[in-house]
A and B are shown apart, each in its own frame.
Chain A
Amino acid sequence: MTFTNLTDAINIPKIIRVIPRNRNIEAWLLAFALGLFAFELAQIQLSVLQVLCADFWLYFVPFTLAVLAIHFVLRIRASEADSLILPIGVVLNGLGIAEIYRLDLHTVAVKGTELFAGKQIAWTCIAIAVAAVVVIFVPSHLFLRRYVYVSMFVGVGLLLSPMLPVIGRSINGARLWIGIGPLTFQPGELAKIALTVFFAGYLVTRRDSLAIVGRKIFGVRIPRARELGPIISIWVASLLVLVMQHDLGTSLLYFGLFIVMIYVATGRSIYVVVGLTMFFSGALVASRVADYVTRRFDAWLNPFDQSHYDAVGGSYQLVQGIFGLAHGNLLGAGLGGGLPHLVPLAESDFIIASLGEELGLVGMFAILALYLLLVARGVRIAFMHNDDFSKLLAVGLSFVIALQLFIVMGGVTRVVPLTGLTTPLLAAGGSSLIANWIIIGVLLRISDSMGSGQRVIGAVN
């Protein structure tokens, strides 16, 4: 060391400059995603209206501004967050808006009045803003751990709120909504986040007792009653949802989520076996007892049977959706080229059938691949993190997206009975958008704390 360098040597570097590599990748991907959105809107206008019109900006500008806003929030507050999660969310959300806009254009053409795209773009902006708020005000995901039991009360409260007398609403036979005046909200969507936080927090503290304590019967360790208590409560709550709210999907979603999280926390497959047995026996009983569930099962097993096709609440919608998908074939009819409006609820429950018709199998594979990638990024966060709460939270939030997609899309493609859940990020509906964007926000927040980014000490020569 030469003398002239002495001043450098005694200067302790104070600035830690983080190269926002992830954010730069994200910026390119976002540019691509927004370009894709513009292309979709333009194609729809050209295909349906034969001309481009100014409405294009009505959809493109607010969405772009919202996306740019959250991108810059990430640059400042979570610069090392995962670079793929946000662009995937943008592509899916954009595609959903485009398809809903396309359905609106048809509604306008036949002089209908029920339009969704305007509301969808507004909800999208609100939802992205909420995700940004999550990134800004949740300094660390560990912060959420302080609110584990609050989350439980909030989650269960939200889940059961549609059963309340005045504000609870039944739509299409399922009592999943609360409403004040013309505004309706599906609280179950938000409940899934609250409950995931609760499960993660609860299981982290109880995992040892759940895994180790308990008597052995026939070589299988049975947990003590007080450890089983919460599981039974969740099971009862799920069945309550099934019976009182008439929705198999929601019930399956929460129960599946809980099973997966308890399995990851304890590593004991007995919980999976017992849990699934409990759920399916409950569902089986419900399918015999509850008329609503019986009809859904019949429609699922024999949708092409004329009597089920003609029945009220029968398989008409399912069969029309399948016809739409088949019409899409390999390459699809092209955005704006199909007849997705022939399926009831084409913009919400059946948006996946609408997209399948217009984008074909190729488009469906692309959409599925995007979801798979989104979920895989979430699971990757769980893998990389050292802290158990983060692991559980990340895997729970990722799994809830995967399971919800499976239940919805599996319902449309006849893998499972059709239920009333929404397709994450694609379907029309504010509650679903907000909930899924919060999940994206939390995943981004957790991924930022993994510390996988390059840190370079700025002042070193």
Chain B
Amino acid sequence: MNKELRRVSLVIFMMFLTLFIATTSIQVISAETLSQDQRNVRSVYDSYKKQRGSLLINGQPIAYSKPSDDIYHYIRTYSDPMYSGVTGFFSNYQGATGLESAMNSYLTGQNSAQFFEQISALFSGNPVTGASVELTIDPAVQKAAWDGLGNLTGAVVAIEPKTGNILALVSKPGFDANLLAVHDGVLSTKNYSALLNAKSEPLKNRATTELYAPGSVFKILVATAAIESGKYTPESTLPNPVKFKLPGTNVYVQNSGEGKCGGKATVSIADALRFSCNVPMAQLGILLGQDAIRAQAEKFGFGKSIKVPLAITPSVYPSNMDDAQTGLSAFGQFDDRVTVMQVAMMSAAVANGGLVMKPNLVRTVLSSNLAALTTPSPSELGSAMSSATAAKVRDMMIGAVARGVSSNGQIKGVSVAGKTGTAQNGQGEPYTLWFTGFAPADNPQVAVAVVVADGGGMGQAGRGNSLAAPIAKKVMEAVLHK
């Protein structure tokens, strides 16, 4: 009978194994999916029970949970709408966005870094208090960007080139996240739909997720590709006609002043960048070819999903273009699409000797007893160009600000490298206005990108240099003059 007993033992063992597997699959493998099921009210109850961690700048909370007398125990409170592009919102009814969502596991105390706290909570029965997140944002720089944009629609990103630390991240118009954090469900939902349907679309994050035509700021990238190819120097010249007929079409490219780029028969790449001329850039783009430009774009971070930890929408350089389209793409038109964060990364890479640093918003994560759970160190995304190339591109960008059409980026007594952009968005559509650059050019402390959307309210009359550059100047000054 013992042979049969052995087989029965095996059957019993298989039954238990099935139960082990089934419970693991529910409790661990699909736990996350199950917790997000709309019919599962436990996650909602959970979020009430514990104090959510704060988002801090220099120890001052910009988003925190303060005790309330209702069944929810705590209410989420936001200090200033100028941080709405960073914090996002946390609502009992509308979920979470921004860092509230990206850092949720830390803020709720569920992150594996808080394992030991979770264990002790298991025995004490008290819920884990959420960890707080200290940000890299510099409030003075943030304020300069917020005030600089004023009533315009647009965004500003300022990065410390050596580390990738984000000093300012502004999206305008912002919103008051307190409107969504209210505990009255009807009110919260009403406020949410008002924000969602507002014509100015305040819930969009124009710094991280919106894609814009880059216009002339893209010329920095093409100039970089040209010099990296080894076939060109800043002094290399290109033919300088008034108009350039795109190959295979009847379409002509013109410079923005509708004249020649300087008075000569040829124009150097440096001058083309200085005066932001489209004709030589279109020719240069076709000579380089789309593959070389795309390769350069990818080195800067195009096409990559980056989390700072806000998710950055990948920027796009189009593929399968003919020569005419390549020519257009070389000065930031056709289907080129970029985020403000990507443009800031591009300037930061030039400023940092060609090395692309991963942008980062989190300085450190602190547990409730102020132990540092994680402190992200600067991390490299790769090299976009050699340091020699970076120096040449920098000098060309200095020329564009000091002696060119990007002159409103000048700061008294400081050498600024920069480039403006004024992108067209189709017949009759308002322009997208840009400035990107860094300062001081010889020892960069800040790289900045500014976009002003909807033509800054001036239709096709506004220019990058007139509207975006002054904002960038204020932001750079805020970094340098403190």
Contacts and interface: CB of A to CB of B under 8 A. Distances in A.
B13 to A, nearest CB: 8
Nearest to B127: A337
A325 B23 contact: yes
Interface residues of B, number: 43
Contacts of A403: 15
A29 interface: no
Interface string B1-44: 11111011101110110111011111110110011010111110
A235 to B, nearest CB: 20
Given A267-B4, A327-B35, A361-B24, A334 B121 contact: yes
Given A304-B37, A331-B118, A342-B41, A360 B27 contact: yes
A361 B39 contact: no
Given A309-B39, A327-B42, A379-B5, A335 B27 contact: no
Given A260-B8, A413-B23, A415-B19, A323 B45 contact: no
Contacts of A402: 12, 15-16
Contacts of B15: 402-403, 406, 410
A263 B26 contact: no
A323 B123 contact: no
B27 A330 contact: yes
B140 interface: no
Contact of A395 (B5, B22, B40, B46): B5
Contacts of A234: none
B67 to A, nearest CB: 17
Contacts of A383: 2, 5
Nearest to A409: B19
Contacts of A450: none
Contact of A368 (B3, B20, B37): B20
A375 B122 contact: no
A255 interface: no
A361 B5 contact: no
Contacts of A304: 37
B265 interface: no
B16 A342 contact: no
A356 B8 contact: no
Nearest to B12: A402
Nearest to B121: A334
Contacts of B123: 43, 334
A368 B19 contact: yes
A332 interface: yes
Contacts of A382: 5
Contacts of A263: 4, 7-8
Contacts of A162: none
A366 to B, nearest CB: 11
A372 B16 contact: yes
A339 B48 CA distance: 13
A414 interface: yes
A342 B42 CA distance: 9
Contact of B34 (A267, A326, A379, A409): A326
A30 B479 CA distance: 69
A361 B25 CA distance: 10
Nearest to A385: B1
B315 to A, nearest CB: 37
Interface string A315-337: 00001001111111111101111
A329 B24 CA distance: 9
B27 A264 contact: no
B119 interface: yes
Contacts of A329: 27-28, 31
A46 interface: yes
B125 interface: yes
B34 A331 contact: no
Contacts of B18: 406, 410, 415
Contacts of A360: 27
A328 B27 contact: yes
Contacts of B20: 365, 368
B119 to A, nearest CB: 7
Interface string B331-351: 000000000000000000000
B125 A335 contact: yes
A364 interface: yes
A379 B5 CA distance: 8
Nearest to B122: A334
Contact of B125 (A47, A342, A405): A47
B445 to A, nearest CB: 45
With most chain A CB atoms within 10 A of its CB, the pick from B7, B26, B37, B118 is: B26
Given A329-B28, A334-B121, A413 B19 contact: yes
Nearest to B15: A406
B27 A339 contact: no
Contact of A339 (B1, B45, B124, B125): B45
A175 interface: no
Contact of A323 (B23, B28, B42): B42
A227 interface: no
B161 to A, nearest CB: 41
Interface in A184-205: none
A43 B125 contact: yes
A391 B28 contact: no
Contacts of A410: 15, 18-19, 22
Contacts of A298: none
Nearest to A50: B125
A264 B4 contact: yes
Nearest to B115: A331
A364 B23 contact: yes
Nearest to A405: B19
12 contacts: A263-B8, A264-B5, A326-B26, A326-B40, A327-B43, A335-B125, A339-B42, A372-B12, A399-B12, A413-B19, A413-B23, A415-B22
Interface of A: 43, 46-47, 260, 263-265, 267, 304, 309, 319, 322-332, 334-337, 339, 342, 356, 360-361, 364-365, 368, 371-372, 375-376, 379, 382-383, 388, 391, 395, 398-399, 402-403, 405-406, 409-410, 413-415
User: What 10 pairs across the A-B complex have the smallest Cβ distances?
Assistant: A47-B125, A326-B34, A413-B22, A326-B31, A361-B27, A323-B40, A406-B15, A264-B4, A327-B42, A334-B122
Given A339-B45, A383-B2, 7 more contacts: A47-B125, A264-B4, A326-B26, A329-B27, A360-B27, A368-B19, A406-B16
Interface of B: 1-5, 7-9, 11-13, 15-16, 18-20, 22-28, 30-31, 34-35, 37, 39-43, 45-46, 118-119, 121-125, 127
